[in-house]
């Protein structure tokens, strides 16, 4: 058993090859950037929502930007709480509080 364990080589560089959640997500600021199935999806969503294609794309883009800023803010707040907390654990109980 010991010999088999020593013959195993660690996987180096594997983390660099793993796609994280949202990493491959494309954001579109303008309707002219849409193509293929993505454009079809946005066209149907625009029709159902009563928005023009341009309005929908811009609205989705703006919402994504707001979410990105909120996530960054929460991460910073969490990091600052780690220094104040013995456990360093964040239970998310204050995530929806306004500052």
Q: Which residues contact 58 (CB under 8 A, 6 or more apart)?
A: 29, 30
Cα R_g (the chain), whole angstroms: 22
Q: Domain limits of the chain?
A: 28-86
Max avg pLDDT among 26-30, 80-84, 95-99:
26-30
Q: Tens of pLDDT along 26-67?
A: 999 999 999 999 999 999 999 999 999 999 999 999 999 999
**32-57-74 Cα angle (round to 5):** 130
Tokens describing residue 3: 């010999």
CA distances from 82 to 74, 87, 90, 91, 99 (A): 12, 8, 8, 12, 18
Crossing angle of the two packed helices 36-49 and 53-84, in degrees rounded to 10 = 100
């Amino acid at each position: 058993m010991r010999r088999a364990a020593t013959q195993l080589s660690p996987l180096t560089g594997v983390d660099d090859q793993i796609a994280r959640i949202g990493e491959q997500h494309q954001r579109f600021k303008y309707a002219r950037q849409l193509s293929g199935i993505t454009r079809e999806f946005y066209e149907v969503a625009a029709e159902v929502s009563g928005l023009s294609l341009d309005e929908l794309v811009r609205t989705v883009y703006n919402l994504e930007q707001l979410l990105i800023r909120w996530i960054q803010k929460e991460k910073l707040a969490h990091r600052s709480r780690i220094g104040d907390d013995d456990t360093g654990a964040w239970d998310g109980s204050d995530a929806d509080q306004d500052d």
